[in-house]
A = this chain, B = another copy of it.
Amino acid sequence: MTLDDLTTPCLVLDLAVLKRNLALMEAAVARHPGLRLRPHLKTAKSREVARLAAPGFGPITVSTLAEARYFAEGGWRDQIYAVGITPQKLDAVAALNAAGAAVKVITDDVEAARAIAAHPGRVDALAEVDVGEARGGVALDSPVLPEIAAALGKRLAGVISHSGHSYGGRTIEDMAAIAEAERLGIVTAAERLRAAGHAVPIVSLGSSPTAMHAARMDGVTEVRAGVYMFGDLFQAQLHTHPAEDIAVMVLASVIGRRPERNTLLLDAGALALSKDRSTQAAPRDWGFGRVVGPDGSPLPGEPMVARAYQEHGEVHSDAPLPFDRLPIGARLRVVPNHTCLTAAAHDRYHVVDGGTEVIAVWDRVNGW
């Protein structure tokens, strides 16, 4: 079977690119002796990808209870469920742990920490610290941090931070500076809790750009990153991976031709691509995705999906589109702005290995 045999729109994963991106991150992490990579599976949501990114059932990060269950049943025991836990979700986590998993949760709330410690099942937790993103996490100098640690008691597994504000950086130097600020922050938090008598075995930080470009990782035990596996048009502009190494694309068909307006309609719209507009804030704005040829090669004028309706994507280009090669039904690929969002619209990957032959179909665990 080749890509030509697939019904569009559908998701294509290039194994060759995935492997290059994994090797690049592994090399980046290996620069720091003793540092462990805990890949975040929120982007891939696939056991087959996890076999490559976290081989030997290595430690992973997940973003939903559905992922935690799917990966635990697949053999990945050591997990961090890295979205603030609620007391209501503890039963589900404890059930996974009772069945052999070691799913750790995160919290930045004293009451939630008390609920974790009081739960009859075993659920260890990391205290979430804000290192500058201003999303979740307690401030470094907040009296709440030692209160959370005290409330967790022997359930305290460590400290965790996320440097999502690295997405606001633009240069490799920006990423290195944000990474160092994050490192200083999370290490300070760990030291603060150790000084109060707590064991803090896990000191966890991350984001793909900072994991790739951090200069130092002293005091950090593990780094989390997810989108680096596939990459996308936004991450490429954050220097997480080479611009050409985007592993996931949406295969689409031409369903409308407007030579007089130099536009095409594709059967990949807002549902198949998502309405993510990450690149709007980047040096190069790709609309709702970059349009390339059926084999992934660039097209003249660098067309993009400029408008996204539910099932229609309207393609605009700076050069005349090659209408003679683009009848109704012709295939093109759309490279995503933000792979996490685009992939989530699809329930499987059609896997190629650098070519157009479909060598496998891999499932995904969507939803919650």
Contacts and interface: CB of A to CB of B under 8 A. Distances in A.
Interface of A: 7-10, 42, 63-65, 83-89, 92, 107-109, 111-112, 134-136, 164, 253-257, 261, 265, 267, 270-272, 274-277, 307, 309-312, 314, 327-329, 340-341, 344-347, 366-368
Given A63-B310, A310-B63, A314-B135, A344 B271 contact: yes
Nearest to A226: B310
A107 to B, nearest CB: 8
Contact of A328 (B112, B314, B344, B345): B112
A111 B254 CA distance: 13
A65 B311 CA distance: 12
B84 A328 contact: yes
A312 B111 CA distance: 20
The listed residue with most B CB atoms (<10 A of its CB), out of A85, A328, A340, is A328
A86 B253 contact: yes
Nearest to A271: B344
A1 to B, nearest CB: 14
A145 to B, nearest CB: 15
Given A274-B274, A312-B135, A344-B271, A10 B86 contact: no
B341 A271 contact: yes
B265 A111 contact: no
A191 B124 CA distance: 72
Contacts of A86: 8, 253-255, 267, 328-329
Contact of A88 (B88, B135, B253, B256): B253
A2 to B, nearest CB: 13
Contact of A10 (B253, B309, B368): B368
Contacts of A87: 328-329
**Ordered nearest first, which 9 A-B pairs have the shortest CB separation?**
A84-B255, A86-B329, A112-B328, A275-B275, A109-B328, A83-B311, A136-B256, A86-B253, A87-B329
Contacts of A271: 340-341, 344
B276 A136 contact: no
